[in-house]
Amino acid sequence: MIRWTHGLINRLVKLADIVLLVLATLATALWFGHPTLLQLGLLGLLGIVVHVQVLAATGCYRVERYRTDLPQVGDVALGLVAAAVAVAIAYHAFLVDPTSGIGWVPTWALVSFATLLLGRFVLVRWGVALADRHAVLVRHVAIVGSRARIAGALAGLQGPQADLFKVVGIFLDEEGADAPAAIGGVPVIGGADRLFGFVHHTPIDVIVVALPWESTSHINAMIERMHRVAADVIVPLDRDSFNPRFAEFAIVAGMPSLRVMYQPLRGSLGVLKRVEDIVVSALALALTAPILLVAALAIKLDSRGPVVFLQKRVGFNNKPFTIYKLRTYKVDPTNDGSLGTRRDDPGVTRVGSILRRLSIDELPQLVNVLRGEMSVVGPRPHVPNMQVSGRQYYDVVREYAARYRVKPGITGWGQINGMRGGIDTVEKAARGVMLDLHYIENWSIWFDIRIMFLTVVRGLAGRDVF
């Protein structure tokens, strides 16, 4: 009996794309009568390979993307643009008379686009709907372990994709007369040995080994016993004792290892990021120099004190540095910045209030960027003893320190997603850290460009900027 899985559905969609591209290529060739059969085969093969590889590399072959229209249109367009460029280069570079079929490539791209969309909206959508209706993608799960851990494993299976998993039985590592009949509504079949007979009449796709991570030898022994069952065997990680956010399997000096942290922006990525910072900050300083001069004069006329405000902040690898800002507060030696910014703060000057609302006070940080202490885009730097609800930020959010694995930034993913203004609650503090870690994990030059663009169009001013 065929077990329908996400991987099988994705391979069938990929096969459908290939077949439809072959049909589109033949239809275009019949229309134009050009090129020759050999050239047709080579061009079609090139287009198919590029289209499928681009979609596979960008993660477009996923069941969740087949259920809605817009992602599929974008996926098909993405693959075909790359394929059309490759086919056009090959067509005009290698054909004997490339001008004889000048419209062949755009016609091929349009026919292919229409054909692929028709296939996605009819065949693929119908197939996925049929699979959902008959629940053929639901994976049967068995949980083996201790009662103390099974409840947590059950709760973990109630996430966003809970409808794709069905827990059919629980098998206790320890048996006894007081064993419950069910846990969380799932029947307790018996001890771990009962699983091997259970799979004879009930298909099992996933076995969850729910044992304490402190008992590594016990977990390993249980995994060895599960070798007799043809199923995926997983061990849920205990987030209280081990954070898997950055974890991945790696071979280090020939030694199989679990790399629980990785160095972000290393090698060529770090060079690219630095080039971006120098170019953007130098250009921004040149363009905003008149604004800085006017702001400096206004600050000097409005209140006593220096124009530029200097303060210690925490930077890359938790190394402190001196940040430059235009002074927006009345001079107060007792204010160390640990309480953050408050709305309608009486310490803010009249000119300072305007500068803060327009984010002009942040412009001197471009000098920090040129000095290599900051980036244009990155997590915002905080003072060393930053507090949230009367507690140290480090104590409130466990993953807070991971923000400093990259250089802090003038703007960031958090700033354009509601993190401007004061951080006055634990919930907002935690959300800010999650946004910063999302940026670190998903960095790309295009991500930075997107953040800078959104900062200009919606992040420089607004209700939350004060």
62 vs 6, 49, 255, 266, CA distance in Å? 7, 18, 33, 30
Nearest residue to 318 via CA among 371, 365, 412, 384: 384
Report the Cα 33 to chain-centroid distance in Å.
46
Tell me, what's the pLDDT at 281?
Answer: 94
Tell me, what's the pLDDT at 1?
Answer: 44
CA-to-CA distance for 1 and 354, rounded, in angstroms?
A: 70
Q: What stretches in the chain show pLDDT beneath 70? A: 1-6, 32-37, 94-102, 127-137, 158-163, 175-178, 238-261, 267, 333-345, 421-422, 459-466
Report the DSSP beta bridge partners of residue 233: 207
Tell me, what's the pLDDT at 457?
Answer: 80
CA-to-CA distance for 296 and 302, rounded, in angstroms?
A: 10
Sorted by where each begins, the domain ranges of the chain are 6-133, 139-242, 268-459
Contact of 257 with 250, CB cutoff 8 Å = yes
Q: Does domain 139-242 have CATH number 2.40.50.140?
A: no
What single DSSP character describes residue 457? Answer: I
Tell me, what's the pLDDT at 256?
Answer: 67
Q: Which two tokens stand for residue 295?
A: 């702001």
Tell me, what's the pLDDT at 253?
Answer: 58
Tell me, what's the pLDDT at 198?
Answer: 87
Tell me, what's the pLDDT at 466?
Answer: 44
Tell me, what's the pLDDT at 106?
Answer: 84
Q: Is 323 helix (H, G, I), strand (E, B) or coil?
A: strand
> Which amino acid does the sequence have at 183?
I
